[in-house]
């Protein structure tokens, strides 16, 4: 079941169920700090995904502190050295990527600044140093996105088509993967699509999506592709889906006739990529990378790509422009006139 920020605002029991703060292993001040921080995010009407991300990042930090430093009972007792040890732990033991660590650093910074603003701790007790003495060489480097080549896309969709005997699951899975590959939708956006969204899209050629931060955007679904193109599987699945008499209004449903979960799509991704021996770490988010990368490679304007992806900042989209540069480099490498 999907929840809205309005439901969280109105239902404190639901809030406590989704974001448990009364964790026995934490000192009382840790529990209270986590609770007021999550409450603030909900009051600010951040998206469910953002709140979840912040919650689990802070929880990982508190898990580390309570395990490694059981004598620390107050947030004001956390020192910069504890933070440094935490970053090392993320890198060496948790094997987090540089990008993941950067995100956790940002979340911690926001968390402690909020506690200062609320008077939970004094500014001088902020363990996050303003300026690091030893700079991280890779601090500002963003990892290049992993994506599928055209032949890998063809093999993936062909694998689903040939190996899924059940027609319902065949067209459901084909539609899920095709939408991610050819529209760049996030996995959370895929699972939240309702029947009426598709009905509207088939009539007006536009799929209305509510993305991160509850931001709305319009994703084109052209009739020429729905009728006899790469999205024709969507119409097949729609015809099968509306025949099912189930309570949920979700477009993509599970074997239990409930809204499909992100976890289920992740497992399907792993299954199909293993079947076709893709030697890459492919997750559902990599399909979004694939969509953006191929648009850039084919000369799409970066501002249009930004709008299609729903990025609030152009800098987020610019990670994909390395592809065009790589193409130029390969062109020069192959340009041999015998000098």
Q: Are residues 112 and 209 in the same domain?
A: no
For tokens 């395990």, name the residue: 67
- The CA distance from 50 to 102, in Å, is 15
Whether residue 192 lies inside any domain: the answer is yes
Active site residue 186: yes
Q: Are residues 165 and 106 in the same domain?
A: no
Tokens linked to 266: 């992740």
The CATH number given to whatever domain includes residue 228 is: 1.10.443.10
Active site residue 311: yes
The pLDDT of residue 338 is 44
What DSSP assignment string belongs to 105-118?
HHHHHHHHHHHHHT
Strand, helix or coil for residue 219: strand
Q: Are residues 20 and 85 in the same domain?
A: yes
- The CA distance from 90 to 211, in Å, is 29
Answer with the one of 125, 158, 181 that is the final residue of a domain.
Answer: 125
Say how many domains are in the chain. Answer: 2
- The CA distance from 88 to 241, in Å, is 49
**What's the CA dihedral at 297, 303, 306, 311 to 10 degrees?**
150
Whether residue 325 lies inside any domain: the answer is yes
Active site residue 212: yes
Per annotation, catalytic residue among 286, 288, 289, 294: 288
Per annotation, catalytic residue among 186, 241, 286, 294: 186
The pLDDT of residue 161 is 92
Q: Are residues 120 and 164 in the same domain?
A: no
Whether residue 135 lies inside any domain: the answer is no
For tokens 């029947």, name the residue: 195
Residues of the chain with pLDDT under 50: 1, 332, 335-339
The pLDDT of residue 49 is 81
Whether residue 108 lies inside any domain: the answer is yes
Q: Are residues 120 and 182 in the same domain?
A: no
The CATH number given to whatever domain includes residue 14 is: 1.10.150
Whether residue 159 lies inside any domain: the answer is yes
Tokens linked to 121: 């701790």
Q: Are residues 199 and 107 in the same domain?
A: no
Active site residue 322: no
Whether residue 143 lies inside any domain: the answer is no
Whether residue 140 lies inside any domain: the answer is no
Q: Are residues 89 and 207 in the same domain?
A: no
Q: Are residues 118 and 172 in the same domain?
A: no
What contacts 207, CB < 8 A, 6 or more positions away?
A: 183, 193, 197, 198, 200, 201, 218, 219, 220, 221
Answer with the one of 108, 125, 142 that is the final residue of a domain.
Answer: 125
Per annotation, catalytic residue among 31, 223, 285, 297: 285
Q: Are residues 177 and 314 in the same domain?
A: yes
Q: Are residues 187 and 59 in the same domain?
A: no
The pLDDT of residue 1 is 45
Per annotation, catalytic residue among 212, 217, 223, 232: 212
Write out pLDDT tens, residues 263-286: 899 999 999 998 988 888 888 888
Give the global pTM: 0.61
Its domain, for residue 119, covers 5-125
Q: Are residues 120 and 155 in the same domain?
A: no
The pLDDT of residue 137 is 54
Answer with the one of 79, 110, 125 that is the final residue of a domain.
Answer: 125
Q: Are residues 114 and 184 in the same domain?
A: no
Per annotation, catalytic residue among 26, 54, 272, 320: 320
Whether residue 131 lies inside any domain: the answer is no
Distinct helix (H) and strand (E) counts, the chain: 17, 2
Residues in the chain, how many?
339
Active site residue 147: no
């Amino acid at each position: 079941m999907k929840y809205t920020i309005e439901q969280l605002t109105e239902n404190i029991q639901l809030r406590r169920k989704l974001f448990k703060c009364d964790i026995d292993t934490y000192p009382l001040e840790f529990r209270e700090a986590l609770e007021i921080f999550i409450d603030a995010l909900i009051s600010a009407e951040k998206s469910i995904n953002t709140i979840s991300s912040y919650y689990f990042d802070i929880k990982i930090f508190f898990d580390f502190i309570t395990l490694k430093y059981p004598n620390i009972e107050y947030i004001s007792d956390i020192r910069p050295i504890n933070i440094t040890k935490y970053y090392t732990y993320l890198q060496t033991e948790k094997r987090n990527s540089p990008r993941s660590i950067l995100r956790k650093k940002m979340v911690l910074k926001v968390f402690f600044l909020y506690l200062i603003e609320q008077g939970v701790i004094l500014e001088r007790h902020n363990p996050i140093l303003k300026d690091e003495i030893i700079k991280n060489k890779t601090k500002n480097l963003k990892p290049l996105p992993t994506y599928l080549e055209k032949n890998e896309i063809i093999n993936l969709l062909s694998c689903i088509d040939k190996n899924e005997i059940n027609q319902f699951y065949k067209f459901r899975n084909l539609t899920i993967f095709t939408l991610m590959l050819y529209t760049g939708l996030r996995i959370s956006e895929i699972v939240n699509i309702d029947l009426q969204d598709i009905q509207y899209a088939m009539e007006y050629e536009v799929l209305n999506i509510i993305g991160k931060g509850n931001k709305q955007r319009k994703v084109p679904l052209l009739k020429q592709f729905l009728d006899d193109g790469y999205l024709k599987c969507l119409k097949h699945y729609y015809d099968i889906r509306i025949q099912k008499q189930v309570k949920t209004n979700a477009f993509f449903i599970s074997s239990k006739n409930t809204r499909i979960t992100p976890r289920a799509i992740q497992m399907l991704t792993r299954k199909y990529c293993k079947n076709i021996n893709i030697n890459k770490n492919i997750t559902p988010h990599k399909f979004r990378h694939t969509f953006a990368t191929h648009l850039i490679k084919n000369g799409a304007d970066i501002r249009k790509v930004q709008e299609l992806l729903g990025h609030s900042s152009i800098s987020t989209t610019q990670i994909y422009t390395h592809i065009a540069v790589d193409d130029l480099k390969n062109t020069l490498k192959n340009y041999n006139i015998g000098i």
